[in-house]
Amino acid sequence: MSTVQFKLPDVGEGLTEADILTWKVAAGDSVKVNQVIVEIETAKSVVELPCPTAGSVAALLAPEGATVEVGTPIIDVLSDDAAAAGSAGAPAAPAGSEGSPDSRPGAEATGDADGSGATLVGYGAREDTKRRGRLGRRRALAEQRAAETAGPMPSGPTGLLEDAGAPQRPDPSVSSPAGTRARAKPPVRKRAKESGVDLATVTGTGPAGEVTRRDLEQHLAAAGGLPEVTPTTPRTGPTPAAPLAGPTTPLAAPEDDKTWTIPLKGVRKATAQAMVASAFTAPHVTEFLDVDVTRTMDLVARSRGTEGYAQVNPLAVLSRAVCWALHRTPELNASLQGEQIMVSRRVHLGIATATDRGLMVPVVPDAHAMSVGELARRIREVAATAREGRCPPEAMRGGSITITNVGVFGVDSGTPILNPGQTAIVAFGQIRKRPWVVDDELVVRQVATLSVSADHRVVDGAEISRFLADVGAAMEDPSLMLV
């Protein structure tokens, strides 16, 4: 019987870390190959990971709610097949040793070139990562030899994620020698650069003195920076006081507290990065238009009793109007790529969806080829999938324009920020009764406000105005879309 250690894989989207949401198994449970053992949350979606080998669970190495870096062991499985160690990619062996490839028939794992362990089919690292594997091994070997030349490292406490056979960590009290470049992974270096921290001043507790993300967060907390994150390994010794003493992600403030903190991670972190990149890269311009949508509401009411159109709602009609207007002004269905503007007749419609995890934008491909009834059905499907956390990363890629329905929150209008890579986004305000002039008479009509934000590098006011006017005209009189 052998112990197989399964590392957190890259699920194919350039993943650097993920949160452990829910364990589907516990220590002592029997598991089968490809049985779902854990749900993880990446910056884009919730992903279920299958077990790479059959056996019984020896230990769960990462608690629920923990943020774990790719390549970190998350579960130990006792396997009857010694060869199964290769399929998991991380047998309990000293760090730095290279396991042999798995030769079992039907094994669904492949070895990583960088020695980080095998990954399940469908969760492989990107090709550019694999090409850097040889250089990574050489660098790791050189650093290992340098560490051996410097003498044995002081032993430290064994953490929850450590392999019992791995080299012991250096004493946290020993800092990096002056003038040397601290060891750290690219995400940690980026975080340190954003925070203005010299990694040489941070005590590393990782292998060979590597500065981990947890080390950096603890350093920031001690320096009065950001609050310390909840660690994925148990502390030894007294725990210093920290601003956060409750759950990792508090959903509501305690009754006796007036302020609380929510960690910026997962979807919220990805949204923040995307919005900053968009707002400070694309010069936004926003236009507004009030539209009499009484005829649209009449159409929706009549469609309720028609087979195939029972799910038609104002959002579906707006989606069809957007596709119709883009056929007349395709410049807004474009993407700026370097020195070229790529314009397409195919409309891949993004639907901004509010979920418990944050804002997600699933895409309805080829929306231009769909009827109002088909659009209504597909929008409901992708929105429901996103809210349930089952939307895969590929379902949120490739959008060419986005609609955000702010009216469901009782809001009249807004100035939405572009989804990065797109040229326009349409905001749909609430529909409510207002006084309106029809044939020189003041009557009560159902009115909504439409707004469009666009990238002024790609389009000018003329194209934006023409597009918005066409959308408004189609919403005022849906029969125009039949012409």
For 386-417, give the DSSP string: HHTT---GGGGS--SEEEE-GGGGT-----PP
Report the chain (483 residues): mean pLDDT per 10 consecutive residues: 84 74 90 89 79 89 88 87 45 37 38 40 42 46 48 38 38 46 70 76 81 79 49 38 37 64 82 88 95 96 81 94 97 94 96 90 96 94 90 88 95 93 96 95 97 96 97 96 85
Please state the φ and ψ torsions of residue 468, each to the nearest 5 degrees. Answer: -65, -40
Q: In the numeric block, which tokens belong to residue 427?
A: 């905001």
Task: Check residue 207 and report its DSSP letter.
Answer: G
Specify the pLDDT at position 372.
Answer: 93
pLDDT of res. 162: 35
| Catalytic, out of 219, 327, 348, 456 | 456
Residue 456 designated active-site: yes
Alpha helices in 339-450 (DSSP H): 372-387
pLDDT value at residue 166: 38
For 85-104, give one letter per residue: b (16+ CB within 10 A) or e: bbbbbbbbeeeeeebeebee
Tokens, residue 51: 């077990």
pTM above 0.75, yes or no: no
Name the 3-class secondary structure at 309.
Answer: coil
| pLDDT the model gives residue 2 | 82
pLDDT at 190: 66
